[in-house]
Structure 1
């Protein structure tokens, strides 16, 4: 089979720890180019992967040298770069959050439809085996009616692992548009939509900057969410959890509680109302700590979809719905009201 010619646009931490190593390990892929506005960084990464270095993404997507790109840039560039690539007939895997507005997300989806190329958003939590099992148990009626949930995603903040530290784009509103809520919260909105099999309809949110005085975006957010069938729960996203990362979700149902927490062995624990406990050993949730060796399956799914003309697990439409929850949370914070999604 002909190898897929891939380029990665934006050579920061997520590209270096996830996209590039995972493309490199994929036998159906050839990394042909990388692009970064920091020429030195672009050259260094290009040398490592024996690829061509670019500093202008427009030149890269119009070069005719690539079949597909990963967009790993600051958030404000996700839409313009993805649209330019799609219009040039190139498939796109875009980091989350996919865009900074509904309008941008819709423009990306329209560009994908018009070009007939794939657009996938890099939400990795749907690929976690324990999360897939939880979805299946809910779908099968094993848990009965779902009443409530709580989900959290937090760590010490991107300054600990991003290439530019405290000076990085993550903390600049004009480049990031949103902080912890967009970096981590959007992963959890996507996961909860996936596990519960329902859309959220209302949100009330506190989105604050309380831990990082050098940031002009949020670093702590707590939302109360409600689904179309009336399931209510909380979602917390934080860059102020010192010590260990928290990446957990608990679903409270009529017949059982599903615990997706950091357990040394069991990534899913089901506690039934009868007192019975079932432990599932399904491997851990991948995190930024493992240097990309622990496959996130995002790149694998994207490559597979492009090569075999399949629908990605997280389409632009799905990415837009998860982004919509975040945008509504921001509106809730600004208006101090419960906001319809």
Structure 2
């Protein structure tokens, strides 16, 4: 095998973007089939890319045309389609988020392990050079034990965006709002760099848009070592920004819209606090230049780099940058924040699976069909970033 044969399930804006990457950008991959439950979408994409098309993913999985599946359905489709693919012995790359509920994540991870196949999730921001550099610095102990974290992931979306699909920002169709759609990329980076919180006390609300889920969420989190963190996510800010701070006992790291800043302290804060004799003594902080190697000419970036890494993992056993099982951490945080908001009390991680499933069942039962839908299928222009 010199290339991996992919089938794409879900042919909205994201799915069509992935089809283009598979046919035009990633040399280790080839698109061999497409699937969507809407017959017109399936036929249109099949004709556009010159491949067989299906309206039933099970039929596509049985066709013998595939080695791997890329799942770009609405969120509730991620778990059942992925588990079916695993049962057919297929490798799976699933778009973010991993799924909607932690119980689904457990089932997906277990199914992948039983099948012994490759499993990855679409968190392409891990491939950014500055993010990779931040991870290396933390692993090397440059900033010491983490004492505080911060995540601000601020986006802007119009009402037309939310009106573009009957599933968007509904409990029955999407399983959440900004937390399950825009925020997962940077919740993933935040937990990848700063660790998984052990407790979340959060609040969500629809502050601006006419939607039944949240367009704003904020939380105070605690870590197993008693460190604290803060999270804010919204689709109500312009210009948007993405900011992650990881503050440790011997240094500080800040990722802000693609720029990495790092400070290293001359002394440990914990040690200096009790050894310093002067009442106004401070710790000298050195701003260090993070070691970010230049991107090689012709190297893929963003989503194409993610697909390439996944394909190479299948072909050559290259380590996955974003293993599917690691997608669980973001779902733990998202579920904990929503559950905390609905309960008005802190929620521990791991999240109580039965409690979140019960809440989601209740929210879906009260979800109402949209009265105003103006369907648009357009790939996010920031897809490759």
- Scaled by the length of structure 2, what TM-score is found? 0.77
* Aligned mate of 1:182, from 180, 184, 190: 180
The answer to whether the aligner puts 1:278 opposite 2:288 as a matched pair is yes
Give, in whole Å, the separation in 2 of the partners of 1:278 and 1:141: 14
For residue 20 of structure 1, what is the aligned residue in structure 2? 19
The answer to whether the aligner puts 1:303 opposite 2:311 as a matched pair is yes
Aligned residues: 324
Segments ≥4 residues shifted beyond 6 Å? none
Per mean C-alpha deviation after superposition, the further-off stretch among 25-34 and 93-102 is 93-102
SS at match of 1:257: strand
The answer to whether the aligner puts 1:218 opposite 2:214 as a matched pair is yes
Task: Pick the structure with greater CA Rg.
Answer: 2
For residue 209 of structure 1, what is the aligned residue in structure 2? 206
Give, in whole Å, the separation in 1 of the partners of 2:165 and 2:30: 32
For residue 47 of structure 1, what is the aligned residue in structure 2? 47
Q: Would you say the 8 A contact 1:188–1:235 is kept in 2?
A: no
Q: Would you say the 8 A contact 1:33–1:53 is kept in 2?
A: yes
Give, in whole Å, the separation in 2 of the partners of 1:73 and 1:148: 36
Q: Structure 1 143/281 Cα, relative in aligned 2: closer, same or farther at 3 Å?
A: closer
The answer to whether the aligner puts 1:323 opposite 2:331 as a matched pair is yes
Supply the RMSD in Å over aligned alpha carbons: 2.4
Deviations 1:24-76 (A, max 9, x none): 31112110111122333323332332222222212111212111011100011
Give, in whole Å, the separation in 2 of the partners of 1:209 and 1:294: 34
Report how far residue 272 of structure 1 moved: 4.3
SS at match of 2:156: coil
> Unmatched 5+ residue regions in structure 2?
266-283, 295-299, 350-385
Report how far residue 226 of structure 1 moved: 1.8
Q: Would you say the 8 A contact 1:105–1:316 is kept in 2?
A: no
Q: Structure 1 338/311 Cα, relative in aligned 2: closer, same or farther at 3 Å?
A: same
Report how far residue 155 of structure 1 moved: 1.4
Q: Would you say the 8 A contact 1:159–1:168 is kept in 2?
A: no
For residue 230 of structure 1, what is the aligned residue in structure 2? 226
Give, in whole Å, the separation in 1 of the partners of 2:76 and 2:188: 20
Q: Structure 1 282/156 Cα, relative in aligned 2: closer, same or farther at 3 Å?
A: farther
For residue 252 of structure 2, what is the aligned residue in structure 1? 257
Give, in whole Å, the separation in 1 of the partners of 2:287 and 2:122: 33
Alignment of structure 1 residues 62-211 onto 2, 5 Å: 62-157=62-157, 165-196=163-194, 198-211=195-208
Per mean C-alpha deviation after superposition, the further-off stretch among 22-31 and 164-173 is 164-173
Q: Would you say the 8 A contact 2:152–2:232 is kept in 1?
A: yes
Q: Would you say the 8 A contact 1:22–1:295 is kept in 2?
A: no
For residue 360 of structure 2, what is the aligned residue in structure 1? none
Deviations 1:74-109 (A, max 9, x none): 011111111111111111111122122222212212
Give, in whole Å, the separation in 2 of the partners of 1:158 and 1:316: 31
Give, in whole Å, the separation in 2 of the partners of 1:85 and 1:232: 39
Q: Would you say the 8 A contact 2:221–2:230 is kept in 1?
A: yes
Give, in whole Å, the separation in 1 of the partners of 2:44 and 2:125: 30
Q: Would you say the 8 A contact 2:79–2:99 is kept in 1?
A: yes
Q: Would you say the 8 A contact 2:166–2:173 is kept in 1?
A: no
For residue 289 of structure 1, what is the aligned residue in structure 2? none
Report how far residue 279 of structure 1 moved: 4.5
SS at match of 1:171: coil
Q: Would you say the 8 A contact 1:130–1:283 is kept in 2?
A: no
Report how far residue 145 of structure 1 moved: 3.2
SS at match of 1:178: coil
SS at match of 2:214: coil
Give, in whole Å, the separation in 1 of the partners of 2:153 and 2:133: 20
For residue 355 of structure 2, what is the aligned residue in structure 1? none
